Structure 1
């Protein structure tokens, strides 16, 4: 498995996403039953908090999330192991959906799907473990330091939440990133010693979100 450059746990999670997503593509009833929906969750259908993370809108949505997971998963597996990787993945998924539920609690019609929250949590865990990693973007010809990308992405997510940009669950992305950040630090508190500066920098957007919400500027 090491020769393939991808861990078994990553393959299993990608396979689960593919199988469940394609089931949703072909079966609209299944899709509607397991997507994230505020009204349904408030009526007690809590399984949607997990199941929605394995459904996708289309193959492009699915491929984008799985490719992102593929590129960052093994950095987390290498740093923390398979079991902790799973904790971070599902912790980020749940945290992202909890933040969405909180921000949309009075919008009973609000629905969402996708592994983006979980995947973003893995991405941020990888950045926290290897903050000096370089990321390449299609439209930027030079490598971007991981911590710069992390801060920029969270700031963009706040902007997207505030201005309701596109048909994108910015709050789930932000929540997933925070989930990955918090759970990784809980699992590896030594990062406060080895990477304290980066831990502090990556906390800045979280503090900004909290301040904006408390001052009513995000509502």
Structure 2
């Protein structure tokens, strides 16, 4: 779980290089961040490039630290090509969901690899739900799926309440990308881990029910 495959190293390096450039070059940061108005104006590349920019070093380190812990699970199950595929599909999934929910907010902006990383996290949980993870202030490790579901429910709450300067929508969209792609790559999980597939789908279903009801 703690091995660094070359695919993981390349993704971390790309995030670090782009983010460091953005820290020191505001015009670069502004040109490639996620921005609804610019995307609707034709700059679709922002839906991808924004996933490699971060607001500061702690933001970058937090995302890369999470990726470090879960990347090898996905690579072990699928291989590096599929891992990279899930990463980018999750990144785009996060951007698409943000575009859907914020399409009428031309000044809405976001950056960060959180969507892609959450997709890898959700894929790893779906593949290896028996993982146990520790979290601050909780003295015993919890099943990974409990934390995964809880994190998405919090992200949905964050979307509704507009909590902090955080792209909660991208987290949910990224998780959806990781979830769907993992099931496409390994459809037997629908039979062998039916309960886990259902449990991890609950936050996604809740989101769209709330959207249909106009609650978010």
TM-score, with length taken from structure 2? 0.98
Name 2:105's counterpart in structure 1: 107
Q: Which one of 154, 163, 169 corresponds to residue 156 of structure 1?
A: 154
Cα distance, 1:161 vs. partner? 0.8
Q: CA RMSD for the aligned pairs?
A: 1.1
Q: In 1, distance between residues paired with 2:76 and 2:138?
A: 28
What are the superposed Cα offsets for residues 69-88 of structure 1, whole Å, 9 maximum, x if unpaired? Answer: 00000000001111110110
Cα distance, 1:136 vs. partner? 0.7
Cα distance, 1:54 vs. partner? 0.3
TM-score, with length taken from structure 1? 0.96
Q: In 1, distance between residues paired with 2:5 and 2:138?
A: 29
Deviates more, 1:156-165 or 1:120-129: 156-165
Structure 2, unaligned stretches of length 5 or more?
none
Name 1:141's counterpart in structure 2: 139
Structure 1, unaligned stretches of length 5 or more?
none
Q: Give runs of aligned pairs for residues 31-110 of structure 1, distance below 5 A.
A: 31-110=29-108
Aligned residues: 216
Q: In 2, distance between residues paired with 1:121 and 1:24?
A: 24
What are the superposed Cα offsets for residues 5-33 of structure 1, whole Å, 9 maximum, x if unpaired? Answer: 11110000000000110011111111111
Q: Which one of 180, 188, 193 corresponds to residue 182 of structure 1?
A: 180
Q: In 2, distance between residues paired with 1:150 and 1:62?
A: 20
Q: In 1, distance between residues paired with 2:145 and 2:160?
A: 23
Q: Which one of 129, 135, 142 corresponds to residue 127 of structure 2?
A: 129
